[in-house]
A and B are shown apart, each in its own frame.
Chain A
Amino acid sequence: MSLLQDGFWKDYLLAVAATILVGALVASSAAHGLDAALDRAADGILGEAGQYDLIVHIRQDYREAAARELPLVLSGHYEGVRVERAITVAGNANFLIDVPAEHYRADVLESLPSLLGQIPGFNGYTWLLEPSLTVTGLRPGVRDRLAGEAAAVPGVRLAVRHGSSVTVVLEEVQDQSRVADALNRLLSGRQLVELGFPPGEGPVDGTEVAASVKDAVGARFAADVTPDGGEDGAPAGLDGLRRFLESFGSRVRIAPVPGSEPPLVGQRLVLQGGSPERPVPGKPPAADHVIVEITHRDGDVAVGRIEQGDRSEIPDTAAATAADGSSDGRREAMPAYRLDQGFVGPLAGTAAVEEPGWNPGDPESGALLWHRVGELARAAAEAAGQVDRWLVLVGPADGTGAVAGETGEATRELAQRLVKSLRSGDGAGAVRETLLTVIMAALAQNAKPDGDGAGSGAPGIPEALSPDRLAALRDSLNRLAEAAGQLQGDEWQDALRSMPEIGALLPELRDDELTRILQALEEWTGAAGGHGPRIELWIDASVPAEEIRRAAEEATGRAVTVRPSASGVVSPSPRSLVTGVLDDVRRSVAALLAFLVAALSLILDHAIVLAAMRYLSVPDTAIRPAGAAIGALLLGAVYGLSGARLPFAGHWAVLAAGALLGLLTAALAERLGPVNAEEIVAGQSLGLSDGQIMREIVVPAGRPGMMVLVNRRRRRFR
């Protein structure tokens, strides 16, 4: 093609290359400029990368108080911790926390959130540890074990546990991909398997089961990661507390009507209690009747707890009868009626009430419980601080200053946060707040409109949670903490004997109040509903669930249900997510600019060339393909070099779009880049080559663009 003679084609290709380079540079620079601007905005929210480690979210109306308290609280524990104010977003004032190098350890970082609960208006926190990766969706046992394994991965500085996640802080940002690969390999190579056992057959030793299953299936790795097996798992703490509290509640034993089955677990029964009226079948129970929830079976006897009323409302005769679990024959035991859909039903049996008390001989309520007391006590010390703050919200200790609306709002907020914290499995934090949660659970129950909580003189504040009661609870907790804190070696035996005294320190909760607390705890720990023991194994992903089930059944001799699930998911840090979004924005902007550059170049430079081809020695059939090719080349190259990326648009789609642009340009070439055909013919008549005609006649008359600029260099007639 004579168009390619006289070096014109070289200049044409040079112009195309220059367009691509300049276009990519412009698109990339503009996009990076925007990226930098957005990045600065992000820094305003998150701080500069690596500058801060934590964002604390504070309710906007507590901003000033939090600004005073945060530095005091944090530097009181860790000297040198720096606090900076950040912008307020969506009702949350944000504070950026910088932990100095000497405190930059996993244990310190893990303890920070627990201190934040003391800050007025605390509304959550977000880690900014960088460079980092976060593994989310972890069960507590897996989380703790993974934290240890992740910390040993080369390139990992430390691993911080929080909630159901582990944030893996890297030595260098360049390690991100390598460490992510290592963690992904670790997680995808293992599966979490929950093994469920039938109820009523005693506990299961998870460690033994894990070892047996590992041997039986030939797994390279198998570990017991059952939360209960851990020393500081939240469910373990809650469950310990549940059993601890349960030992202070009354038990009601129901002997079924001869010839009939005992009531089922979960059924409710109605007792006369202290009411002058006996329950009447077909009518709803009275407010002063006692309602019992069956919790378990003891042989033929159903055992329950008081859900409405208190043991003190049951006549002494019944209580005396219950002391040894049977009637003394002198008085008739109290009849118990079924409660069906809110109405008193037929007679179910006779009820006898056991006095609550501490039984040192009972291993379930003895040594095991005391084992938990130490940690609960330590947690109680901090919880006492929470109570203090809560008391401020409720009102002065004389109980006269409470404001129901404010209290309700604060309570709801606090309750939501506590529940969230507990459910997230934030180990230490959850245990710390466990005791306070008990208070909240009771409040939540008592604050129901139809609740029967006694008033304290301030409307909406139940007596059990009045400032006086809470102050007493705070004192109790402090003393409990002190006692547990001083416990050493075998002194626990003595402590065990003192449990009744410790129990006496607890506020005088009614049986129904205690039951509501227990029900709340069971809801959170999953202990309700008659579940049997459950253990969680973390085991090679390659082992089929069925094999695990068989091995577990052989190891325990019990029927086992198996529920496998993924170990967790590796995701970038919050900043990385923000950076990722900004990067997407930058790439999208670059893509749009790439389209703009390609379109402009086609219109300014190539339309006139394509239009002139019609008059030169180029076959007409080649013009549109040439346009498509140059369009694809321009857009594809600028797009690629500028680092552009559009969602759902692969490279082929971009090339196709470029080809389409080029095709359109070729089709509309004479409108987009009109040429003077008579001048072209004049040049041809003078014996000029196509290249000379393009260089001397066509291009100089074109629109200013890269082609004109490049062509000027070798043009003979100016």
Chain B
Amino acid sequence: MAKKTPLLKVDGIHKRYGDRVALAGVSLTVAPGETVAVMGPSGCGKSTLLRCIVRLTDWDKGEIYFDGRPVGPMDHGAIRALRRQIGFVFQHFQLIERLSVLDNVLLGLVLGGMDRRAAEKRALAALRRVRLEHEHSLRPAELSGGQRQRVAIARALAMEPRLMLWDEPTAALDPVLVGEVLDIMEELANDRKTGMLVVTHEVRFARHAADRVIILDRGRVLEEGPPEQVFGNPRSYVGRQYRRLLVG
């Protein structure tokens, strides 16, 4: 079978913040519809990696390719077009507080040029998918943490992205609310319509939903493989830590 062009290819990315090394030659790929979990201790460069992919942060060396096109040389217009194809779910939701739930979801659609009525139809569908269609007129401040994160997911989904980046989407949630977010994430992963690169500490999610798991530490990829391999026979200290969590 001919090897498919990966949707995302990260090729030897380096990034430093002053003296601190955030990424030290990270390489990975995400195929269309594939779910890849990136795991590793805090400060290992996971979030930086995601921000580099959508050019929220510029990297020092290496290249990132989306759908075969290098991201580095893109101009502002091309970057904005890229971002409209890549959904981003943040750890802290990052909703626009003064806008309603619906407007938050509509924002990218309408300002991206979509007709308002069509955009509303799509936004409501996205909200229905995260089970928040009845809360569309509320303000973010009126929602729980889990609901707010689901709005953020709906906002990303409504753009119908080809790739979704998840930056520890449950890290800021009360443990009792984590499930409602993970359930949606698993649904999306199982749909296999959207490629997903998920930075997470949720070992169970990674084992059940991810096609591959990448262990990252100190800006380097320590190991990479299917969840069964990484968690079943971890080669790195970090992988062993996650396995212990899974067994425990």
Contact = CB atoms under 8 A, between A and B. Distances in A.
Interface string B75-96: 0100011111000101010111
B159 to A, nearest CB: 7
Interface in A667-691: 676, 678-679, 681-689
A697 B80 contact: no
A701 B92 CA distance: 19
A284 B30 CA distance: 128
Contact of A682 (B95, B103, B110, B159): B95
B107 A684 contact: no
B171 interface: no
Contact of B112 (A617, A682, A687, A697): A687
Interface in B81-138: 81-84, 88, 90, 92, 94-99, 103, 106-108, 110-112
Nearest to A695: B111
A682 B80 contact: no
A700 interface: yes
Contact of B76 (A617, A681, A697, A716): A617
Main secondary structure of the interface of A (DSSP, over half): helix
Given A617-B76, A682-B90, A688 B108 contact: yes
B90 A687 contact: no
B155 interface: yes
B92 to A, nearest CB: 6
Interface in B43-67: 54, 56
Given A683-B107, A684-B56, A716-B111, A689 B94 contact: no
Interface string A696-718: 11001100000000000000110
Nearest to A688: B111
Interface string B9-49: 00000000000000000000000000000000000000000
A716 B111 CA distance: 8
A683 B54 CA distance: 12
A29 interface: no
A164 interface: no
Nearest to A677: B94
Q: Is the interface on chain B under 10, 10 to 19, 20 to 34, or 35 or more residues?
A: 20 to 34
Interface of B: 54, 56, 76, 80-84, 88, 90, 92, 94-99, 103, 106-108, 110-112, 155, 159
Nearest to B94: A682
B96 A697 contact: yes
Which among B82, B99, B155 has the highest number of chain A CB atoms within 10 Å?
B99
A681 B110 CA distance: 18
23 contacts: A617-B76, A678-B92, A678-B94, A679-B96, A681-B56, A681-B94, A682-B94, A684-B83, A685-B54, A685-B56, A685-B94, A686-B83, A686-B111, A686-B112, A686-B155, A688-B80, A688-B108, A688-B111, A689-B76, A696-B96, A697-B96, A701-B98, A717-B99
A617 B77 CA distance: 12
A167 to B, nearest CB: 68
A359 interface: no
Nearest to B103: A717
A688 B107 contact: yes
A2 B76 contact: yes
Interface residues of A, number: 21
Which among A617, A682, A685, A697 has the highest number of chain B CB atoms within 10 Å?
A685
Contacts of B99: 717
A462 to B, nearest CB: 95
A395 to B, nearest CB: 91
A692 interface: yes
B87 to A, nearest CB: 8
Contacts of B112: 686-687
Given A678-B92, A684-B83, A685-B88, A692 B111 contact: yes
Contacts of A697: 96
A617 B211 CA distance: 36
B247 to A, nearest CB: 36
Contacts of A682: 90, 94-96
Given A678-B92, A682-B94, A701-B98, A687 B83 contact: yes
Given A687-B112, A701-B98, 14 more contacts: A676-B97, A678-B90, A678-B92, A678-B94, A679-B95, A681-B56, A684-B56, A685-B94, A686-B83, A687-B84, A687-B159, A688-B80, A689-B76, A692-B111
Contacts of A701: 98
Contacts of A686: 83-84, 107-108, 111-112, 155, 159
Contacts of A696: 96, 107, 111
5 closest Cβ contacts across the A-B interface? Answer: A686-B108, A687-B84, A682-B94, A687-B83, A685-B88
Given A678-B94, A700-B98, A687 B80 contact: yes
Contacts of A676: 97
Contacts of A717: 99, 103, 106-107, 110
Contacts of B76: 2, 617, 689
A72 B108 CA distance: 90
A620 to B, nearest CB: 13
